[in-house]
Amino acid sequence: MTRPPMDPVHILGVGASALEEAPDDARPVPDDALREQYAAAIRDAACTGDCNMTEEECARTRIQPVVWHHGCLAEVSGTPEMLADAVLAVRDREMEQLRTELAAAQRELTTSETARAHLRAVRDRLAAAITRVTAAVHVADDEDVTVWQRGYRACTDRVLAALDGPAAKPHPAEAERDQAYRERAHLLAWLAALHPANAVITPAPDIDEPGWQLLYLLVGGWQMSWHIHPHDAALFAHVEHVDPDDPRAQWDGHSTTEKYERIQEHTRRLNQADTGGRRP
């Protein structure tokens, strides 16, 4: 016979006083239902006639059916201990199930809290490390120059985006970096306008991300180049756009250090020309 589900409130021994203020839909199963649960357990424990014991042995050790009513066992006989054992077996089984579920829920809660705390700690350490490295790396030039710098910045963006989620605000160091790139782009656009005959811009073949360009300037007989972010491309609409194989868009192998040495030397020469060779 199928037993009605055990009521956890009664199993755990919660008194009625603890539930006086509970809403109607939160109150435990009535005592009638609890009584039926135990009655079903007693019926299940009654001998069905196939125990392979003698009648005397069966009557001494098992609950005996006495009256059947419409196919349902209505009365039984047995010692109080037999009846108690039948009820307690059900109660103990249900209690063990509840304990198991409670322990599993507690482990899951503890694990979730520990995992969240660990993720918060890792996120804070990563953000702090990224801030330190960003501050130590000179990123006034976007090209520049080294592939690892571009890779570092790309990884930084992806790590912070994954940690903070889609709605996260940009990291302060990233905002400062982006502002510096934008200011640099304005200055380069102005410099290219001052040398229109010696300035060209072309798609950057060394960056897989679409939209990046390379600005080439020939000033004082020296080549200088900068990578231009897609966000800044509109600032260079006035610069002649050429194909990557154009002779004026062929990198001469200068490094970032050499580029700024050339700018410094060209500045020195312009100053000498303005002052007639005299120190100002």
pLDDT tens-digit map of 105-144: 777 767 667 777 777 776 777 666 666 655 554 444 444 5
The Cα–Cα gap between 42 and 37 comes to: 9
- Strands 64-69, 72-77: parallel, antiparallel or unpaired by DSSP? antiparallel
Query: Which residues lie closer than 8 Å to 84 by C-beta, 6 or more apart?
Result: none
Other CB atoms closer than 10 Å to residue 39's CB: what's the count?
17
Cα angle 121, 125, 131; round to 5:
145
Q: What is the pLDDT of residues 6-50, one digit of tens each?
A: 444 443 343 334 334 445 554 444 466 667 777 787 877 787 777
Strand order in the sheet with 213-219: 222-228, 213-219, 199-203, 240-241
Per-residue pLDDT, 16: 38
Q: Which helix (H) or strand (E) holds 65?
A: strand 64-69
Amino acid at 124: D
- Residue 180 in contact with residue 188, Cβ under 8 Å? no
Nearest to 9 by CA among 23, 20, 19: 19
- Regarding pTM above 0.75, the answer is no
Report the half-sphere exposure of 200 (CA within 13 A, side-chain side): 17
Helix runs in the chain, H state only: 8-11, 31-45, 55-61, 80-136, 147-164, 172-194, 256-275
